[in-house]
Structure 1
Amino acid sequence: MSPSPSSRFRQQLIVAPAVLGLALVAACSNSSSSTGGGGGGSATLAGDCAEYQPYAGHSGTTVTMFASILSPESDSLQQSWAKFSSCTGIKISYEGSNDFESQLPVRVNGGQAPDLAIIPQPGLLAQMVKTGQVKKPDATTVANENKWSPVWKTYGSVDGVFYAAPMSANMKSLVWYSPSAFKKAGYQVPTTWADLMKLSDTIAKSGTNGSKPWCGGIGSGTATGWPATDWLEEVVLGGQGGDVYDQWVSHKIKFSDPQITGAMQTVANWMQNPAWVNGGFGDVKSIATTTFQDAGGPILTGKCWMLQQASFYEAQWPKGTKVGPDGDVYAFHLPAVNPAIPNPVEGGGEFVTAFSDRPEVRAVQDYLSTAAWADSRIKVPNATGWVSANQGVDKSLYTDPIDQLSAAELTDPTATFRFDASDMMPAAVGSGQEWKSLTAWFAEGQSIQQTARDIDSAWPQ
């Protein structure tokens, strides 16, 4: 499942106004006597603010935004639109919640929908569209989607109708490790699944002081379980290929079918092997109670060697951690289970969805769909771990090695790319029963067969 992410930073509730960088106001002066005000004026923006002219005329308005993105990522997000906000006078009141997936439907059905929501699951988007309250983007936002690969537009569409503009992308198929620890031990980065499993066995047999080859955590508030969905998706995509993956997403192939239960057994051999996990935390069951944010910590203390987690995990390393090929931590591409599958890449993303069609709301949604906004998000200082699949983005702006790696993989035309499966499934399954059942699989030792049956039974008729 795509945390976003996402579903990503879920330790606390954060409600914060997004009007940052007020020092920018002087530079972004309004040269017109008309100040807009709710779209009623025709302000002319000058100086550094001139680039925001298409969004002028709405000074003094507020747009509410609701998402699952919490600090530290939400801090960078708000900085990315600070100049837009100060120049246009549109205040973006941002709220992040670790209960986003459960609270958004409650708010929408209760008449308390936000103006904009950042939805990381196409399945949840489809659920919201059924309420009749999602507003279609305007023509300029639709035109901006030409900078994305066409498949991304389908992820923001329901029944062939485009509703939500893609905002970000993340690379899921990564394994975090310590280059310095590997070098000291004489380990090589594996390039095949067989080599990865062999390395895991070697580390397990030579481990001391409780060190294990793998660490992991699937705790994430009300979204507990989502990292386990990623492990299963990686194995299905890298073992069975894109066609089986697609049929699984649509339930033409069920969880109880041999292709998927076989993949679950591969995951069990890997992440439920008591000799291999959970370095620094405990036994297999401890994976269910360890938060995904904390999961990689033991890599820095030598208690575990590897963590399978997405590109956005970079934001979780402590300040001062050097990330890079010669750093404290880095990441390599998770190899395909089946070497016949060319370069499997699982990714996730987020989609800006409007529940209001007020002019200022459309202005914000439109701006966030542009390559210019994506560039500004990339340029936020010390805000690594975020990439865009928008092909209009200036790739030279990526200075972080993980961001460079992720951007290259996500735009690779030869990759077997698929969007996070659980995010594509109906919300009752992908961000509901599957989270619950996979958590029980780890926490209670529930059988593969029972876990699969429980998830299949939740599929909407």
Structure 2
Amino acid sequence: MNKQSHRGRKAAAGAVAALSSLLLAACGTADAAGTAKEAAAREAACAPYAAYRGHEGTTVTLLMNDGFESVKATQALRRFSDCTSIRVDVEGAAGVEDEVKKRVGAGDPPDLAIVAQPGLIATLAGSGNLKPAAGSVAKAAGENWSADWLTYGSVDGELYAIPFDSNVSSYVWYSPAALKKEGYEVPRSWDELMAVSAKIADTGRTPWCLGLGSGAATGWPATNWIEDAMLAMYGPDVYDQWVTHAIPFDDPKVLRAAERAERVVKNEKYVRGGVRNAATTYFEDAGLPILRGECSFYRLGSFYAGSFPRGTKVAADGDVFAFPVPPADPSEGRLAIVGSTFTGAFSDRPEVAAVHTYLATGDFASRRVSLGGWMSANNKVDMSLYKSDLDKLSAEIMRDPDTTVRFDGSDMMPAAVGTGSFWTGMTDWIKGEDTETVLAEIEKSWP
């Protein structure tokens, strides 16, 4: 090899090395730019969660119903966890209320739990196990719910638990096509509903489906009939007096409310399959005959939409839909019995307060609503996120300031009554026990 050739090869090698360095530098610059861009995008996406930071590496447990709901809650909380580095372990249980009692008794409560009964909230708060809502929780809740909704999670004027999901109980299910074919319109008053029921019965068909069966909770669907009547006949003040036992359970007003319900639920000409059989007909199955034209109406809450077979169109122009239980007088406005679950804290650790506060926001409620199968009375939720006609109607009812809303009465009563003697009393009532005896027995059970 001559010197000139050697020098040429050295020059070429140097050029290659220089080019490689330039390429590596360029790639490094591009990678750095990409990383910086990604970091900026992440920071922008996480900016709404800045107030919840400062608890990185912590874990908060959230106990709730198992299955679909726990899966969707985990999805709705994902962005929060990614941005705050607070791990939220969603624990599912088949019976949350029983699981809460069990774990509290064993001295191992979850950090947060979602329960359905204000009566249980009061019991847990009274025992000192449930903690008062942190200031940040109360502030967020006050901005996003009406005062009425917050009273259901309060004890002696202090907020303990915030609403989670909500539902409208006061619905009557029907077939829009069948009602139209028979020449009827959706009833606007209770008297109109009774008139349509009578006309259907006169043709030899049974206008109503009814089912009280629910395992250990058998009887609860009939409590809704009494609650509807108490609110419609006497208004919210008397309803509240009844729920809080300011008037006894066997008061003449309650008797008259039960007699209104009797016109349907204890009328052999009205109830498909007979009144006594309704006591053992499982509530989830009871309304399905509407699809076959074997009954025209079934009174149950908005959640019942999920009980119809896959492919059933639930809409005003669909296979089935629901209308609100009509008031006694349409000019007095709409009435609604509602239900909800509530999130309460058993720990006052700061990371628990952070998660609890986030659950009170419109951001969480909107994320969960967008996943479907869930409603909220949170007034920050964009109504366009609701995917079904029924969910939209329910959300409108819950947020309408002109609708008289009251919480499910049995859930507000002491457990010995609301989830005890009221349920069993309604079952005995449907099986044939006279109304006065049933009401007197429930009254005796009030603690």
What's the TM-score once normalised by structure 1's chain length? 0.82
AA of the residue aligned to 2:432:
G
- Counterpart CA distance in 2 for 1:459 and 1:422 is 12
Tell me if structure 2 keeps the 8 A contact 1:119–1:352.
yes
Does residue 48 of structure 1 match 2:36? no
Q: Conserved in 2, the CA contact under 8 Å of 1:45 and 1:53?
A: no
CA contact (8 A) 1:85 1:92 kept: no
Say yes or no: does 1:423 pair with 2:424: no
Q: Which residue of 2 aligns with 1:179?
A: 176
In the alignment, is the contact (CA less than 8 A) between 1:238 and 1:336 conserved in 2? yes
Find the counterpart in structure 2 of residue 241 from structure 1: 235
Of 179, 202, 219, which aligns to 2:213? 219
Q: Is the 8 A contact 1:193 1:335 kept in 2?
A: yes
Q: CA deviation at 1:74?
A: 4.3
Q: Which residue of 1 aligns with 2:424?
A: 436
Aligned twin of 2:388: 400
Partner of 2:341: 350
For 1:428, the aligned partner's letter is A
What RMSD in Å do the two structures reach over aligned CA positions?
2.5
Are the structure 2 counterparts of residues 45 and 89 from structure 1 closer, same or farther at C-alpha, using a change threshold of 3 Å?
farther
- Tell me the amino acid that sits aligned with residue 214 of structure 2: S
1:86 Cα deviation after fit: 4.4
Are 1:294 and 2:281 an aligned pair? no
Number of aligned residue pairs: 410
Q: Which amino acid aligns with 1:92?
A: D
Q: Shift in Å at residue 359 of structure 1?
A: 3.1
1:101 and 2:89 aligned: no
Answering whether residue 438 of structure 2 is matched by residue 451 of structure 1, we say yes
Inter-partner Cα distance in structure 2 for 1:189 and 1:343: 14
Closer, same or farther in 2 for the Cα pair 1:101/1:450, shift >3 Å? farther
CA–CA distance in 1 between the matches of 2:75 and 2:200?
Answer: 42
Counterparts of 2:282 and 2:100 in 1: how far apart (Å)? 23
User: Identical aligned pairs, as a percentage?
Assistant: 45
Pick aligned residue for 2:164 from 162, 167, 170: 167
Query: How far, CA to CA, are the matches of 2:71 and 2:296 in structure 1?
Result: 30
Deviation at 1:353, TM superposition (A): 0.7
Q: Does 1:330 align with 2:321?
A: yes
1:68-95 deviation per Cα after TM superposition (whole angstroms, max 9, x unaligned): x454444433432233344435132221
Quote the offset at 1:31 in angstroms: 5.8
In structure 2, runs of 5+ residues without a counterpart are: 1-34
Aligned to 2:79: 83
Identify the structure with the greater helix proportion.
2
CA contact (8 A) 1:90 1:360 kept: no
Do 2:86 and 2:351's aligned partners in 1 also have CA atoms closer than 8 Å?
no
Contact 1:109 1:131 in 2 (8 A): no
Per-residue CA deviation, residues 283-335 of structure 1 (Å, 9 max, x unaligned), is: 22232222322222111122222111112222222222112111111111211
| Residues 74-153 of structure 1: pairs in structure 2 closer than 5 A | 74-87=70-83, 88-97=85-94, 99-146=95-142, 147-153=144-150
| Alignment match, 1:257 | 251
Deviation at 1:423, TM superposition (A): 1.6
Partner of residue 29, structure 2: none
The 5 Å alignment of 1:403-414 reads: 403-414=391-402
1:236 Cα deviation (Å)? Answer: 0.8
Q: 58, 61, 65: which one pairs with 1:64?
A: 61
Q: Please state whether the residue corresponding to 2:237 is helix, strand or coil.
A: helix
Q: Structure 2: how far apart are the matches of 1:85 and 1:292?
A: 38
Post-superposition offset of 1:113: 1.9
1:378 aligns with 2:392: no
In the TM superposition, residue 60 of structure 1 has moved relative to its aligned partner by 4.9
Q: Could you tell which deviates more after superposition, 432-441 or 240-249?
A: 432-441
Instruction: Give 2:353's aligned amino acid.
Output: R
2: CA distance between counterparts of 1:286 and 1:361? 48
Q: Which amino acid aligns with 2:283?
A: F
Does the 8 Å contact 1:119/1:351 carry over to 2?
Answer: yes
The C-alpha deviation readout for 1:224-255, integer Å capped at 9, x for no partner, is 22221111101110111112111111212112
Q: So what's the TM-score if we normalise by structure 2?
A: 0.85
Report the Cα offset of residue 30 of structure 1.
Answer: 10
For residue 459 of structure 1, report the CA deviation from its aligned partner: 1.5
CA offsets per residue over residues 378-432 of structure 1, 9 Å max, x none? Answer: 100xx23x32222222222223211111111112222222111112222222122
Distance change (3 Å), C-alpha of 1:175 and 1:266: same
SS in 1 for 2:326: coil
Aligned to 1:232: 226
Among candidates 151, 154, 161, match of residue 154 of structure 1:
151
Q: Which amino acid aligns with 1:346?
A: I
SS of the counterpart of 1:170?
A: strand
Q: Tell me, in whole angstroms, the C-alpha distance in 1 between the residues paired with 2:323 and 2:72.
A: 25
User: CA distance change for structure 1 residues 91 and 416 in 2, over 3 Å: closer, same or farther?
Assistant: closer
2:377 to 389, 412, 416: 389
1:229 and 1:435 in contact (8 A); partners too = yes
SS for the counterpart of 1:117 is: strand
Deviation at 1:57, TM superposition (A): 4.7
Q: In the alignment, what sits opposite 2:189?
A: 192
Higher deviation after alignment, 358-367 or 266-275: 358-367
Give the secondary structure class of the aligned counterpart of 1:289: coil
